[in-house]
Structure 1
Amino acid sequence: MNLCKRILFGTLLGCVAMFSAMTALAQSGTLEFFANGEELATEGFIEPKLTKDGWTLTFSHIFVTLSDITAYQTDPPYNAYEGGEISATTTVSLKGVHTLDLVMGADENSLVRIGEVQAPAGHYNAVSWRMTNAESGMLAGYSMVLTGKAEKDGQSVNFQLYSNEERTYRCGEYVGDERKGFLEEGGTADLELTFHLDHIFGRADKPADDEMNVEALGFAPFADGSKKYAIQLRRLHIGHAGEGHCAVEWH
């Protein structure tokens, strides 16, 4: 009799566990992550959007290495201007270290797919990621590498720019033509990690005293024809969620 009870009890527990797993699966969906260097990555700095000091740039590759990619459901919304850790009711992470090429890996919308996770339904209104140094291969020791050609007044320079700076971006909700991150049960939603290259090189079509241009490096510091430069990106606000602001922590 006791043996029968134990078998029945064990069967019931198994059924409950299976039902719970099926319920959780039914209430989840697929959350996709994309990186975007925008048209300045895929098309370059071309007229009228030259660098702040008047150079045309075309990129052959822009490599970034990312880890700790995490999406959040936050209430109240995360305030990136205040910074600090993100407090969330729901958190999901994309495992692994991901090295992407924002030029060659991009689709017609300049998007590079990073990966996807199964996630509970809801509105993912914050995202964070770390730019980390690659551990192996020709990119080892660098978190961002830009290669290409620069041209101005008949001068042509092939450039290689390397950054070994590591930092974490923490961003509020994506800001753009459409809101992102709304994941319905059984559905698919996406989030975007955006890289604003004009915060590195500036823009000639914006006023010289624009805050971005004041901080941006331009291309002139790299124009003497040397093949390889270490580039310092600290204080340059590259990471965004669309046009949404991100707090940055340097490591």
Structure 2
Amino acid sequence: MGFNQPTEYICGEFIGEERQGIVAVDASGRVKATFHFDHIFGDVNAPIDDALNQDVLGFQPLADLAVNQSLELDEQALSSNLSDQDYQKLTEAVLGLGHVGEGHCVISNQ
């Protein structure tokens, strides 16, 4: 899946079980950002009525667009071939993919 709009994830404080460290003022550091694809597809280990599984796109709408078990669509094709509701779910989920631990990153569209 390809999206034409560049998206910058700006990540801040780590939220999770084990903090890796604190960066001092005017010093450099490293951060590990992750992409949480459960925001698109849901979590099979969570109940169906769990907040994480509500309003996700899931696999089926994308599987329905696959050709020879492969999906290669750009933003225009996704927009044209998904229902308006499913396309909105997908684009909102992509904006929420970026995390530091469990902490959500904010979006800066360039």
Residue 165 of structure 1 is matched in structure 2 by: 5
3-state SS in 2 of match to 1:163: coil
1:229 to 73, 76, 80: 73
* Matched letter for residue 235 of structure 1: E
C-alpha distance in 2, partners of 1:165/1:215?
A: 23
Residue 33 of structure 2 is matched in structure 1 by: 193
3-state SS in 2 of match to 1:212: helix
Residues 166 and 213 of structure 1: CA distance in aligned 2, closer, same or farther (over 3 Å): farther
Q: Which has the larger radius of gyration?
A: 1
Q: Under a length normalisation based on structure 1, what TM-score does the superposition of the two structures give?
A: 0.30
Alignment of structure 1 residues 82-231 onto 2, 5 Å: 161-183=1-23, 189-224=29-64, 225-226=66-67, 227=70, 228-230=72-74, 231=78
CA contact (8 A) 1:181 1:191 kept: no
**Number of residues of Structure 1 aligned to a counterpart in Structure 2:** 89
CA contact (8 A) 1:222 1:229 kept: no
2:98 to 223, 226, 239: 239
* Matched letter for residue 247 of structure 1: V
Unaligned 5+ segments in structure 1 are 1-160
C-alpha distance in 2, partners of 1:240/1:171?
A: 7
3-state SS in 1 of match to 2:107: strand
Q: Which structure's residues are more often helix, by fraction? A: 2
Residues 165 and 206 of structure 1: CA distance in aligned 2, closer, same or farther (over 3 Å): farther
Unaligned 5+ segments in structure 2 are 79-86
Alignment RMSD: 2.7
The Cα offsets for residues 32-75 of structure 1, whole Å up to 9 and x where unpaired, read as xxxxxxxxxxxxxxxxxxxxxxxxxxxxxxxxxxxxxxxxxxxx
Identity over the aligned pairs, expressed in percent?
40
Q: Which structure's residues are more often strand, by fraction? A: 1
Question: Alpha-carbon deviation of 1:199?
Answer: 0.8
Q: Under a length normalisation based on structure 2, what TM-score does the superposition of the two structures give?
A: 0.61
Question: Alpha-carbon deviation of 1:213?
Answer: 1.8
| More contact order relative to length (CA 8 Å, sep ≥ 6) | 2
